[in-house]
Chains A and B, each alone.
Chain A
Amino acid sequence: MIADIWTVVWKEYREMFRGPGTRFNTLMMFISTGLIGVLMPVQQGAGFVTSPLTLLLCFWVASMMVPSIVADSFAGERERHTLETLLAGRLSHRAILFGKQCAIVLYGWGLTIICLLVGLVSVNLVAGKGHLLLFPAWLALSLVTLSLVACWLFAGLGVLISLRSPTVQKAQQILAMVTLLPIVPFIALVLLLGDQKFGALLMRAASLMPSNMPAVAGIALLVLLLIDLAVVWISLARFQRARLILD
């Protein structure tokens, strides 16, 4: 099973980084590394390694980088007429599904870790003043684990949508809407409360953060993990070879 998953990952990376049009993926990697790994730490200074807001980077990278490639996972195979041949081979549906998810998670997560490491170097160069600036242990652990489950969430949702989408474009459209959903409550709050009250609410929430942050991160991790598992379960239920071929 693991070998089969790795075979799918190998194929996905060959297509992602070796073929024509892969310069876009490489360019996106450099842009995000430049933005998150250099620009933001330089602007934030030492706060980059201490502020709990750095945790939001996990979601930012995942929501920015993963959807751009995940829509292609099944819809792309369907569009390029390679899906049926893949399904007619010896790979199990779990190996195909997890292989595709795994390739995207490793890509998004790897990129987040690179951004954070580059950010650490940048902030030390700019604000280190002879001292080594490092993330506190709870924040480092939260960054690593939360970015993993966040990438898994976007990869899982993307694969689930792509599984039955007729085209990559259609999958991208649906995924864009799903990605925007978490922002909707904030927009609704701004509209309901007005700018000033919403600002005050944010300030109050931020003031509560430092003391409770490790616990908040832990709960967020648990909730995301449960959602990830639910998405995997739904994806497995919807992966039916006959339906995928006839759709």
Chain B
Amino acid sequence: MNARTVVQMTDVSMSFGQVKAVDGVSLSVKRGEVFGFLGPNGAGKTTTIRLLLGLLTPSAGRAEVLGFDTRTQAAAIREHCGALLEHNGLYERMSAHDNLEFQGRVWRMPSAHREARIEEMLTDIGLWERRFDLVGKWSRGMKQKLAVARAMFHRPELIFLDEPSAGLDPVAAAALRQDLARLAEREGVTIFLTTHNLAEAEKLCHRVAVIRKGKLLAIGTVDELSGKDGSMHAEIAGKGFNDAIVAALRAMPDVASVRWENSHVSVALERGTEVAPLVHMLVGCGVQIEGVHKNEASLEDVFLDLMQDDQEGAK
């Protein structure tokens, strides 16, 4: 593990009885980057964070965070990290000020420094005027903002954010994303972010990894994964699709993958592939084409393709 690497997982597995929550995951996170860990519910994202924080011990493999072994130096890891976990963990019977003050006390920040930091953080997220309100009376969006501020309060080198925008309405989620991006840039902190919100990952993350049923399916920059190196997606709407036609589409050269939902087919194409031969083939098979749209693949397209490929592989 070199100085630039803050998280290093080598073939890490974690089982709960017969269930493998994390299955042979290997990855690394570089200092200063926002690393997205994407996956559907139950993919193993939260378990991975718990493993990296040393809250759980892996069944197999080895993980290091900031150079500390998660099995033997968990306390040192928690000393240098911040975390916003599955639940925001705020004390709702305490004020926002007291929640942050507790965080400062836990990390032994001197009183004057603590007060200055509370003002800085709450002002930054626009909640300074509400500092003496009980957190329990706040909206979910406000609580999440405060929880992010708390995770960064003691200036950790690395923070773990477990689905920070889960359950927020689109406006609150966008506001949280803005705050998160601004704070991350200003504080220069490395962020390990789990999410199933792909737009969030696309906007915030430098690199992403995709996990499903504990297995790592892909890892790379958002551009690499979303095919912005030239590969394309064709969205074809029409009537008359069936299993045989979709199978024929999959068998065509330069077609990476096909997703079919009712009267809509999404085709991932290799770089430079034309759509016309596909349309010609579909028309020849009796499909009544209503529309064709060719665009660069989004992270969502890639994510859904990966999920489908893995599902088909499992069958």
Contacts and interface: CB of A to CB of B under 8 A. Distances in A.
A131 interface: no
A87 B55 contact: yes
B102 A11 contact: yes
Contacts of B16: 246
B85 A85 contact: yes
B198 interface: no
Contact of A7 (B83, B94, B105): B105
B55 A7 contact: no
A204 interface: no
A84 interface: yes
Given A19-B92, A84-B55, 16 more contacts: A7-B105, A11-B102, A11-B105, A18-B94, A18-B95, A20-B93, A20-B134, A20-B136, A21-B93, A80-B92, A82-B90, A85-B87, A88-B78, A89-B106, A245-B56, A246-B16
Nearest to A92: B75
A10 interface: yes
Given A14-B94, A241-B55, A242-B57, A88 B85 contact: yes
Nearest to A18: B94
A7 B154 CA distance: 15
Contacts of A7: 102, 105-106
Nearest to A3: B108
Given A7-B102, A88-B78, A90-B79, A18 B93 contact: yes
B87 A88 contact: no
B106 A245 contact: no
A19 B134 contact: yes
Interface of B: 16, 50, 53, 55-57, 75, 78-79, 83-95, 98, 102-103, 105-108, 134, 136
B106 A85 contact: no
B35 to A, nearest CB: 18
A236 to B, nearest CB: 15
Contacts of B94: 11, 14-15, 18-19
Interface of A: 3-4, 7, 10-11, 14-15, 18-22, 80-82, 84-92, 241-242, 245-246
11 contacts: A7-B106, A14-B98, A14-B102, A20-B134, A81-B87, A82-B91, A85-B83, A85-B85, A90-B75, A91-B106, A242-B55
Contacts of A245: 50, 55-56
Contacts of B98: 14, 18
A169 B125 CA distance: 37
A136 B230 CA distance: 92
Given A7-B105, A245-B56, A84 B86 contact: yes
B93 A88 contact: no
A73 B95 CA distance: 19
B47 to A, nearest CB: 10
Contacts of B134: 19-20
A216 to B, nearest CB: 43
Contact of B89 (A10, A14, A21, A84): A84
A230 to B, nearest CB: 26
A90 B107 contact: yes
The 7 closest A-B pairs by CB, nearest first: A85-B89, A19-B93, A81-B87, A7-B105, A90-B79, A88-B83, A82-B89
A11, A87, A89 — most chain B CB neighbours (10 Å) = A89
Nearest to B135: A19
Contacts of B84: 85
A18 B98 CA distance: 10
Contacts of B87: 81-82, 84-85
A81 B103 CA distance: 16
A84 to B, nearest CB: 5
A186 to B, nearest CB: 39
A241 B98 CA distance: 25
A14 B84 CA distance: 22
B93 A242 contact: no
Nearest to A15: B93
Nearest to A89: B106
A86 B87 CA distance: 11
Contacts of B88: 81, 85
Contacts of A87: 55
A77 to B, nearest CB: 9
A20 B75 CA distance: 34
Contact of A90 (B56, B57, B78, B85): B78
Contacts of A21: 93
A41 to B, nearest CB: 35
B93 A11 contact: no
Contacts of B92: 19, 80
Contacts of B89: 81-82, 84-86, 88
A10 B16 CA distance: 36
A80 B106 CA distance: 20
A245 B87 CA distance: 12
A5 to B, nearest CB: 11
Nearest to B86: A84
Contacts of B107: 90
Nearest to A10: B105
Nearest to B78: A90
